[in-house]
Structure 1
Amino acid sequence: MFDYIRNDLNIYKGNWAAQGFWVMLVYRFGRWRYGVRIKLLRKLCSLIYKVLYKLVQIVTGIELPCEVEVGEGFVIDHFGGIVISGYARFGTNCRIRNGVVVGLKNVEDVVAPVFGDDVDIGTGAKVLGNIKIGSRVIIGANAVVLTDVPDDSIAVGVPAIIKSRKKV
């Protein structure tokens, strides 16, 4: 856990006041508590996690449950209005900004998006449903992504139009 926290702090350039770092700190603690073998201690850690999670959610406006799988280099730029489903998965070096929602398209279909590596999600984007977002993808500000996005693409608009990033 401490290696991850050190890495997260380096990503936020040593800024303990960065609200994205606070979220990641609570997230890391939440993931770590699953490995506590002593049942009573694990329950205590779970209680502490739930209180910290709610506190950080209220203060930062960011909802990142510990069930989400995030790769190394996950960055939350700008705080506020970020909601991520516990079913989502992120690759390495992904970046999200304020107003982003990653979640279910339908309540009956409990599957959230899976992201590749080096994905950059713009302000206000909504990425919903059982979809796969490839690696090296840029999702534009306020885009609504409801379909798969291949590697090396840009998704922009409502609903999102997928464009290749490769030059011809």
Structure 2
Amino acid sequence: MNFFQQFLDDKKVYREGFLAQGFWALQIYRFGHLRYQYKSKLIRVLLGVIHLFLHKMCEIFFGISIGVNADIGQRFNIEHFGAIIIHGNCIIGHDCIVRQGVTLGNRHHEKPYDAPKIGNNVSIGAGAKLLGAITIGDNVSIGANAVVLIDVPDNAIAVGIPAKIITKNF
């Protein structure tokens, strides 16, 4: 999928469309990630400098920081903006939603590259913290303010501090 098709695909999941800060934060991330497609060091550096400026503006004005090395799937939705941190080593599947105050990051200072791996169709509630090298399965709901420090299997709910796992009954 090219950059323009990705742009239009991302826009579909935002009710506010072009007015959504989360949409623009995601596009700034995707722009920064775009530079890896080029072999020319000059082009990569130029795009990197532009991305760094845009990334800092995103942090200042939207309160959203998405690490450029993160791997984010299609139709990622930042439902409410503000105080959102996504570690550069995170892997996020397709059709996921995060809300304000979410942190996806490392747990220990000694392990700075540990970051969550999130499956497809995951909903992460406001204020939730997912920390460390954990794996979140497909079709998972993370409750508001949950602190997830362990793996969550497919089709489950994680709630509480620390999070307890509840299997969804379908």
Calculate the TM-score normalised by the size of structure 2. Answer: 0.94
SS in 2 for 1:141: coil
Q: Which residue does the alignment assign to 2:30? A: 28
For the residues of structure 2 that align with 1:91 and 1:42, how far apart are their CA atoms?
Answer: 26
Structure 1 stretch displaced more, 102-111 or 149-158: 102-111
Q: Deviations over 1:84-134 (max 9, x none)?
A: 111111111110000001110112222111011110000000000111101
Unmatched 5+ stretches in structure 2: none
Q: Which residue does the alignment assign to 1:153? A: 156
Calculate the aligned-residue CA RMSD, in Å: 1.2
Q: Which amino acid aligns with 2:65?
A: E
Q: Deviations over 1:28-82 (max 9, x none)?
A: 1111111123322221111100000100111100011221111111110100000
Map 1:16-165; keep pairs closer than 5 Å.
16-109=18-111, 110-165=113-168
Structure 2 CA distance for partners of 1:146 and 1:36, relative to 1, 3 Å: same
Percentage of matched positions with identical amino acids: 44
For the residues of structure 1 that align with 2:149 and 2:19, how far apart are their CA atoms?
Answer: 34
CA contact (8 A) 2:14 2:20 kept: yes
For the residues of structure 2 that align with 1:37 and 1:164, how far apart are their CA atoms?
Answer: 46
Structure 2 CA distance for partners of 1:14 and 1:155, relative to 1, 3 Å: closer
SS in 2 for 1:158: coil
Q: Which amino acid aligns with 1:18?
A: A
For the residues of structure 1 that align with 2:63 and 2:89, how far apart are their CA atoms?
Answer: 19
Cα offset for 1:13? 4.5
SS in 2 for 1:48: helix
Unmatched 5+ stretches in structure 1: none
